[in-house]
Structure 1
Amino acid sequence: MEFLDVLYQYIVEHEFLGKIINVAVVIVFALILSKIMTYLIDRNLSLEEVKKKNSYMRIVTIMNLVRNIGKIVIFFLAITISLDILGVNTTPIIAAFSVGSLAISFGAQSLIKDIINGFFIILEDQYRVGDLVEILDYQGYVEEFGLRSTLLRDFNGEVHIIPNGKIEIVTNKQKGRARAKVVLSLDLEEDPRKIVDLIKTRISFLEKDYRVLEGPSVWGVTNNTDRGYEITISANVISGEQFKVEYEIREEMVEMFRENNIKLPEIRVRR
C-alpha cells in the first residue's frame, strides 16, 4: 500500500505523466471496444440461422462496412479525447478539419463519386460478396466490397480493384444464389435406378448444409451416348459456394464408384 501511495503522489505531482496514463487508458479502451465490435459482428455472421438466409452475402457486405466505419468513429473519438486530456484545444482542429475537408472535396470529386456510387450499389443490392459479375469488361467473383471500391478476382486468380465511381453497368450472373451441377457418365451395363438410389444416399449430407438453399436433387438419366448414359446432380446454393459443393459431390461420387465397382463408359477407338 505504501508503494501505491508513493506512486499516486508522484503522478499527482507530475501532472503530465498522469495525462499520459489517461491517454493510454483511452487508447486501450478504444482497442477493446473495437475488438468487442469485431467479435460481435463475426459471431453473428457465423450463426447457422444467419447463414441460411438468402440475403446472407448482402448481410456480410453491410456488416463489413459497419465494422470499418465503426473503427473509424471509435479511433477518431479516442484521438479527440486524448488531445483534450493533453490540453490541446480540439475545437480549432475540428473546425480546420471541416474547412480542409470542404477544400479537399473540390479536388477529390472522384473519391466522393466512388463513395456515393458505393452507397447506391448497397442500397439497390446490385451485387454482393461472392457474386459472379462482369464489370468494365472484367469478369470474376466479388471478394471484397467497400464504399470506395470493389475487389474482383478473375478465373486466372488476378485481382482487379475497381473504383465504384467508374461502375456504370453491372452484369450479375448469379445474384444471391447459384447452381452446383455435376454430370456423371456411366456404362450401359449399370442399372440407372440402382445408381440413382446410391447417389441420393451419398449426397444426403448436403440437405442440412447451410450453403445449400434447395436440393440436392438427382435428375436421373439426362443424356444417352454411344458409350453409355449420363446422370445429373444439382443443387441451388449460396452464390460463390457452387464450386466447393461440386468438388465435394465429385469426391463422394469417386468413393461411391470405387466401393460399388461401378463401371465408366468404355472408350472406343474408331478405326
Structure 2
Amino acid sequence: MKRMNDFRIFIKDVFINSLNVNEQLTNFIVVIIMIVLILFVSFLIVRISSYTVKKILLKQTNNRTITLVKHIQSILKYVIYFVVIMIVLSELGINITPIIASAGVFGLAIGFGAQSIVKDFISGFFIIFENQFTLGDVIEVDGFKGEVIEFGLRSTKIKNWKGQIKIISNGDIKKLINFSREFSVGIVDISVAYETDMQLLENSLYNFIEKYETNEDIVEKVSYLGVVEMQDSGVLVRLIFKSKPNVHFKYERKLRSDLLTFFKDQKIDIPYPHVIVKQYED
C-alpha cells in the first residue's frame, strides 16, 4: 500500500508540476491510471499463479491432478478478482469497510439458506482430496454405472454405455463403487453335459489355455477354476482372467466365442433345452 501511495504521489507531481494540469483533473487521471494498473497487475497475477499451480501439480499427469489443478485455478481466480474489485472501489473513493462487513453477513445468510449447496461444495472438496474418483473413472452411484465425463465442486456427470447422462449433486453421493482403481476380473462360465469325461475336459481346457493368445490388456492369463455348479441340464465350469480396468467385457465375449469353437472341434457337448413332441394316434 505504501508503494501505491508513493506511486500516486509521483503521478500527481508529474501532472501538476511538470504538465501544469489542474488538481481536479489530475486526481481523475490518477484514478484511471491506478485502476488500469491494478487490472493489468491482477491479470498478470492470475496468469502467473495459474501457470505456477499447473507447473507444480502437473508433474504427475493423471486425471486426479488435472481435476485438482482446474479447481485450484478457479478458486485463485475468484479470490484475486474479489480483492481487485475491493481495491478498485477503494480507488474510486468508496468506503469498502461496510461492503466487506455486509459480505460477511450476506455469506452467513447464504450459508444458512443454501445448506445443500454448501454441502455439495464440501463433498466436492473431500472427493478431490480423498481421491475417490477422477475424470475418466468408471463408477456406480445409486445403481447408475458409467464414466465420469465432468466433475465440478458442486456436481458430477456420469455417462453410461447407452449414452445416458446422469447429473448427481456431490452431496448426494453416499455409496460409491469405483471400477477403475484395480484390475478387472473376467469370468466365463460354460456348461457341459453330465456324460462328459471331466478329466478329459480338464486336460483339453489346459491345452486350450496354454495355446490361448493374449495381449497387453490381459495382466493375468486365463486359468481354469473348475466346476462351480451342478445344474439341471449340465455341469457349469468356470474360467477366469485379470485385465486392465474395464476392458474385461470384450475379452469375456471373445473367450466365450473361442470356447464354443473349441468345444465343437473337440466334440464336447454343450447342453441346451430340448423339446420332444409326441403324437399319439387314436
Partner of 2:83: 80
- TM-score, length-scaled by structure 2: 0.55
> Which residue number in structure 2 is paired with residue 64 of structure 1?
67
Match of 2:222 in 1: 218
Shift of 1:160: 1.5
The amino acid across from 2:44 in the alignment is V
Report the Cα distance in structure 2 between the residues aligned to 1:78 and 1:24, rounded to whole angstroms: 12
Deviations 1:89-118 (A, max 9, x none): 544433222121112223212212333445
RMSD: 4.7
1:133 paired with 2:140, answer yes
User: How far did 1:68 drift?
Assistant: 0.9
Of 210, 214, 217 in structure 2, the residue corresponding to residue 202 of structure 1 is: 214
Instruction: Give distance in 2, aligned partners of 1:171 and 1:81.
Output: 40
User: Which of 1 and 2 has higher RCO (CA within 8 Å, sep 6+)?
Assistant: 1
The structure with the larger Rg is 2
Deviation at 1:21, TM superposition (A): 4.1
How far apart, CA to CA, are the structure 2 residues paired with 1:82 and 1:120?
Answer: 30
Structure 1 residues 27, 233: CA separation in 2 closer, same or farther (over 3 Å shift)? Answer: same
Aligned residues: 223
Residue 36 of structure 1, CA deviation: 3.8
CA distance in structure 2 between the aligned counterparts of 1:174 and 1:95, rounded to whole angstroms: 47
The aligned amino acid for 1:197 is E
Larger CA deviation: 170-179 vs 72-81: 170-179
Letter in 2 for 1:170: K
Which one-letter code corresponds to 1:133 in the other structure? Answer: E
- Change in Cα spacing, 1:120 to 1:17, as seen in structure 2 (3 Å) is closer
Structure 2 counterpart SS, 1:45 = coil
* Structure 1 residue aligned with 2:36: 20
Identity of aligned residues (%): 23
TM (norm. structure 1) is: 0.57
Residue 41 of structure 1: which of 40, 43, 57 is its match? 57
2:109 is equivalent to residue 106 of structure 1: no
Contact 1:180 1:246 in 2 (8 A): no
Deviations 1:187-218 (A, max 9, x none): x9x9645543343x633x347xxxxxxx3232
Unaligned runs of 5+ in 2: 1-10, 16-28, 191-200, 265-269, 277-282
Give the superposition deviation at 1:34. Answer: 1.5
Aligned counterparts of 1:164 and 1:231: Cα–Cα separation in 2: 39
